[in-house]
Amino acid sequence: MRAMAVTAYGEPLVEIDVAEPVVPHGYALLEVVTCGVCFSDVKVSRGLMPFSDTVALPHVPGHEIFGRVLRTEPEGLVEPGTRGTVFHSWSCGRCEACRRGDLALCDNLSGWVGFTTPGGFRERIAVPVDRIIPIPPSIDPVHAAPMSCALGTAYRSVVVRGGVKASSTVAVIGLGGVGIHAAQIARTAGAWVVGFDPHEATRAAARELNLVARPSDDDAVDDALREVGREGFDVVVDTVGHGETVAMADRLVRRAGRIVVVGYGPRSMVGVDTSRLVLDEIDVVGSRYAHLDDLERAVALVAGDRVRTIVGLVAPLDRVNEVFAALEAGDVVGRAVLDVAGVAGPAS
């Protein structure tokens, strides 16, 4: 079976032949139709993740999987042909984090697809049937690919961790694969939203969605603060997670407001002045991926035409290194998607 794999950190991915997946009891065999590509895949492939030293090479990345069920073990658990996205964090259900409901923080994952266990840059994969989120036929395979991570992460950061609701004022820093969806979700929740991004092509895509999009400079921040008409924004979602973007979030957020940090780097260290944190009662929270119910609700927003997944680059599986280069150059608007099964049309 064909796959694109990391054989040495920092080197281009290589096409290799891997064994057909074993399908344990309670699992489904999926044909991987499309697979989204985000910057986490680049970091995995460059050996820049906290767990990189523990992952055996060759390793197959890819965590944003959209596929089609071929069979289950035993038969009948899921109807063959069912289309679904894969919830890529396979929590154990037994550790302390799982028992208190923090499934994304499981200490004993049976699979972390594309990160520490093999992912979707290959033709077939076995997944637990309860980790498949059905995708309605109205959503095409290209736009289904970003739903697991880009869409699910955006939903949790805005609705669950951010607590955004009708009449909230929200700033989203970074309108990339997660941010452009976070801004849409916040607007759908009834918020007044401003997005910030340094790239004009990304801002143009956001404006096509009728989102307010500004550059990431001081003048744009000052203009937004004047327009919000109060002390600042109720919620600021930082999808970048660098020191300068957290500082920008600190400028934008009002007293007793909330900063939600979604983006991160393996060596990024950020901070907020403690006097501001305490005296102005600023909440600073992290947001990691999503829970199953978060992802189901996020998919429902797309199925109901309330949010649109944004894909700016589509390429066949064997061109993944070109996709990585485009991501590293900042040339991708929204998400990039690998057309693993050869079904995709032009990117939109």
Per-residue model confidence as pLDDT tens digits over 116-131: 999 999 999 999 999 9
pLDDT in tens, 307-346: 999 999 999 999 999 999 999 998 999 999 999 999 875 4
Contact 157/139 with Cβ under 8 angstroms?
no
* Nearest alpha-carbon partner for 272 in 294, 296, 255: 255
Residues 6+ apart with CB under 8 A from 281: 255, 256
Please say if the pLDDT value at position 111 is more than 60. yes
337: β partners: 36, 314
Long-range CB contacts (< 8 A, 24+ apart) of 116-120? 116/51, 116/54, 116/55, 118/3, 118/18, 118/59, 118/60, 119/35, 119/60, 119/61, 119/62, 119/63, 119/65, 119/88, 120/32, 120/35, 120/60, 120/62, 120/63, 120/64, 120/65, 120/67, 120/86, 120/340
Taking the C-alpha atoms of residue 175 and residue 48, their distance in angstroms, rounded to an integer, is 23
What is the reported pLDDT for 101? 87
Taking the C-alpha atoms of residue 188 and residue 239, their distance in angstroms, rounded to an integer, is 18
Minimum mean pLDDT range among 48-52, 133-137, 160-164? 48-52
pTM: 0.93
Q: What is the average pLDDT across 139-145?
A: 96
Rounded to an integer, what distance in angstroms lies between the CA atom of residue 118 and that of residue 281?
A: 42
Q: How far is CA 95 from the centre of its chain?
A: 25
Longest dimension (CA), the chain: 61
Q: Which position has the higher pLDDT, 326 or 266? A: 326
Residues 168-191: what's their mean pLDDT?
97
For residue range 34-87, list pLDDT tens digits in order.
999 999 999 999 999 989 999 999 999 999 999 999 999 999 999 999 999 999
